[in-house]
Structure 1
Amino acid sequence: MAEHKEPVNEQAVANAYASMRSELNQIYSKITELEMEVSEHSLVINAIQPLDPTRRCYRMIGGVLVERTIKEVLPAVQRNKDGLEEVIARLNEALEKKKKEIAEFEAKYKIRIKKPDSEVKDESGKKEGSAQGVLVGPASSAGSSE
């Protein structure tokens, strides 16, 4: 699509490349987000499937909690899950297409990514105190303080 417009200089090539990488990252993050939603839908389906179909359940629709039966909710949740999986499949196709486009762009303009090792080492040193936990005493000692 963008091939009809040739970049004029190095800065234009760099900007076009950065834009393409940004689009790739957006696709990755959207796929991850939708995969988490599919996972949540699966949890709900697995939780309500074995229950009595006439049992009441609640579903959030557009910010409003509505009361329904499992018989009404289960097919809707399944349809939503199937729709999300379809969107994920399309996004994966778009992702592969974008990866190919970026690879062709890199080959055409001889782009190489340099990953400095010094930045990785600096960041690991800064986060040395962030993995501290909280100590909690045994549950039986809480009741004995009366």
Structure 2
Amino acid sequence: MASNSKKQDKKSEKSLAAEEIVNGFQTLRAEQRALSGKLSEFELDLNEHKMVIETLKNVNEDRKCFRLVGGVLTERKVKDVLPVLISNQEKLKEMIEIINEQIGKKGQEINEYREKHNIRFKGLENPKQEEQPLSSTESRGNVLVS
């Protein structure tokens, strides 16, 4: 009976380790998705800035315009608002570049994690590999994520 409980302990340790690997992988993917969401948000803001800047370039500098700042609508002149918008547009471009780099690094990190823990996706394996049965020693440490 003692040997039977040792086998069960080893199985539970392996399943716990597999769960931790899967959780780590899912965390990395969630971080990448969050970065992608931020990237989309900044790209939308950049497009809005471009549209407003193009519109204000064709308007008299002394004309009144309104700007929403932190939920408060403020009245300014075009000549005061346009430089700030252009500055913000440049900062947004820089942020987009930084986030693109971070997404690339996160993708590399995910790929390294997949290779390190031999993570495979259901449906993406080579069909020839699926036909070959795996021996019990070959299947240890592999994690299948669907």
Shorter-chain TM-score above 0.5: yes
> Match for residue 46 of structure 2?
38
Q: Which of the two has greater strand per residue? A: 2
Deviation at 1:13, TM superposition (A): 0.4
1:50 and 1:26 map into 2 onto residues whose CA distance is 37
CA apart distance, 1:62: 1.4
Give how far 1:104 is off: 0.5
In structure 1, what is the equivalent of residue 11 of structure 2?
none
Query: Is 1:96 matched up with 2:100?
Result: no
Report deviation, 1:114: 2.0
TM-score by length of 1: 0.71
1:28 aligns with 2:29: no
Q: Return 5+ residue gaps in structure 2 as ranges.
A: 1-15, 125-146
Find 1:87's aligned residue among 95, 111, 122. Answer: 95
Mapping of residues 34-113 of structure 1, within 5 Å: 34-113=42-121
> Structure 1 59/115 Cα, relative in aligned 2: closer, same or farther at 3 Å?
farther
TM value normalised by structure 2: 0.71
Q: CA RMSD in A?
A: 1.4
- Aligned-residue offset at 1:112: 1.2
Q: Work out the number of aligned pairs and report it.
A: 109
Return the structure number with greater relative CO, CA threshold 8 A, min gap 6.
2
Map of 1:14 onto structure 2: 22
Deviation at 1:115, TM superposition (A): 4.9
Q: 1:87-138: per-residue Cα shift (whole Å, max 9, x none)?
A: 111111111110000000111111112259xxxxxxxxxxxxxxxxxxxxxx
Unaligned runs of 5+ in 1: 1-7, 117-146
Give the 4+ runs in structure 1 shifted more than 4 A. Answer: none
Q: Secondary structure at the match of 1:51?
A: coil
